A = this chain, B = another copy of it.
Amino acid sequence: MHENKPPLVTNPRDPRFLALLNLQTSQCRSRTNLYLIEGIRHLARAVEERAPVESVFYDPSVLSNHFGRKLVRRLIASRVPTVRLATHLYRDLTLAAEPQGIGAVLRQQFVSFSTVRPIADSLYLAVEAIDSPGNLGTIIRTAEAAGISGIFLLGLSDDPFHPAAVRASMGSLFSQKLVRCSPQEFTAWSRAHGVTTIASSPSGLLDYRALSAEEPALSGRAKRWSRMGPAAILIGSEKRGLSPDLIESADFTVRISMRGHCDSLNVAVAAGVLLFEMAS
């Protein structure tokens, strides 16, 4: 990395460093529509998925991985603004126990709910006010693995670009269709497009398997939803669940029946159980 090497930032009051540090706050993220990602895997996936990389930062004394260094050279070559950071500054930007010394600033991308047009077998996920950003990121990762067509964020506090959410999403953020809208807009959208809405609640009337039970006459699981058309699974906050209005307006409410003394599952585990039962 000898060519075009940017100057090394060592001063914690340097505006280039402060601009990065401020992106850890939700206020700065919503004002700028930017967010931070970190680590070689995340950056490589962002580039692969053509996510809008605004700038790159790296710690030259830590970034020893060959692939990581090549990635930086490639981004510098394509004129992405780059900041070299001293180790003590880089440390302040990372959640990783063993940082790889590379990260980037990306532009947040949402799609408008009015442009989402479901087809017959589409399955969507809607989340409302997930308390833990780590859980939200894990849900986004799980949704991608289950083949979900898009994720609706119905709570004002749901921030998929929080550093802990970004980290837990393991790069799934860059390929997922994210929609931010109000519960009322979501309900109107689902009715307009004939999307069956399935709310998850401990007091759900149906066991979650009831809706996905296979009929012997159908030749495969892929046909499950063809009877029902597109569908959306709704999941609420860890502590409070879904708001009464969303439960009320849903076509079905389902519960995950539990044994032992458990009265709940971790919200990301519950999302995984529901999504993998219904998606496939």
Residues of A within 8 A of B (CB): 45, 48-49, 138, 141-142, 144-147, 168, 170-172, 175, 209, 214, 216, 221, 256-262, 264-266, 268-273, 276-277, 279-280
How far, in whole Å, are A276 and B271 apart by their CA atoms in the complex?
12
**Chain B residues in 8 Å Cβ range of A256:** 145, 276
Residue among A144, A258, A261, A266 having the largest count of chain B Cβ atoms under 10 Å: A266
This chain: copies in complex: 2
**Chain B residues in 8 Å Cβ range of A261:** 45, 48-49, 144, 171-172, 175
How far, in whole Å, are A168 and B272 apart by their CA atoms in the complex?
17
Q: Which residue of B lies closest to A265 (CB)?
A: B145
Are A266 and B168 in contact, CB atoms less than 8 angstroms apart? yes
**Residue from B138, B262, B276 within 8 A of A144 (CB atoms):** B262
**Residue from B145, B168, B214 within 8 A of A258 (CB atoms):** B145
Closest chain-B Cβ to A247's Cβ sits at a distance in Å of 21
**Chain B residues in 8 Å Cβ range of A264:** 145, 170
Q: Which residue of B lies closest to A171 (CB)?
A: B261
How far, in whole Å, are A217 and B256 apart by their CA atoms in the complex?
25
Are A145 and B272 in contact, CB atoms less than 8 angstroms apart? no
Are B216 and A260 in contact, CB atoms less than 8 angstroms apart? no
Residue among A141, A170, A261 having the largest count of chain B Cβ atoms under 10 Å: A261
Q: Which residue of B lies closest to A174 (CB)?
A: B261
How far, in whole Å, are A171 and B279 apart by their CA atoms in the complex?
31
Closest chain-B Cβ to A129's Cβ sits at a distance in Å of 17
Closest chain-B Cβ to A169's Cβ sits at a distance in Å of 10
Closest chain-B Cβ to A56's Cβ sits at a distance in Å of 21
**Residue from B45, B48, B142 within 8 A of A266 (CB atoms):** B142
Closest chain-B Cβ to A196's Cβ sits at a distance in Å of 20
If A216-B216, A273-B272 touch, whether A175 touches B145 (CB-CB below 8 Å) is no
**Chain B residues in 8 Å Cβ range of A260:** 144-145, 147, 172, 175
**Chain B residues in 8 Å Cβ range of A168:** 266
**Chain B residues in 8 Å Cβ range of A270:** 272
**Chain B residues in 8 Å Cβ range of A170:** 262, 264
How far, in whole Å, are A202 and B91 apart by their CA atoms in the complex?
33
Are A146 and B259 in contact, CB atoms less than 8 angstroms apart? yes
Are A144 and B269 in contact, CB atoms less than 8 angstroms apart? no
**Chain B residues in 8 Å Cβ range of A49:** 261
How far, in whole Å, are A260 and B151 apart by their CA atoms in the complex?
14
Residue among A45, A48, A142, A221 having the largest count of chain B Cβ atoms under 10 Å: A142
Closest chain-B Cβ to A150's Cβ sits at a distance in Å of 12
How far, in whole Å, are A270 and B138 apart by their CA atoms in the complex?
11
**Chain B residues in 8 Å Cβ range of A171:** 261
**Residue from B145, B257, B271 within 8 A of A262 (CB atoms):** B145
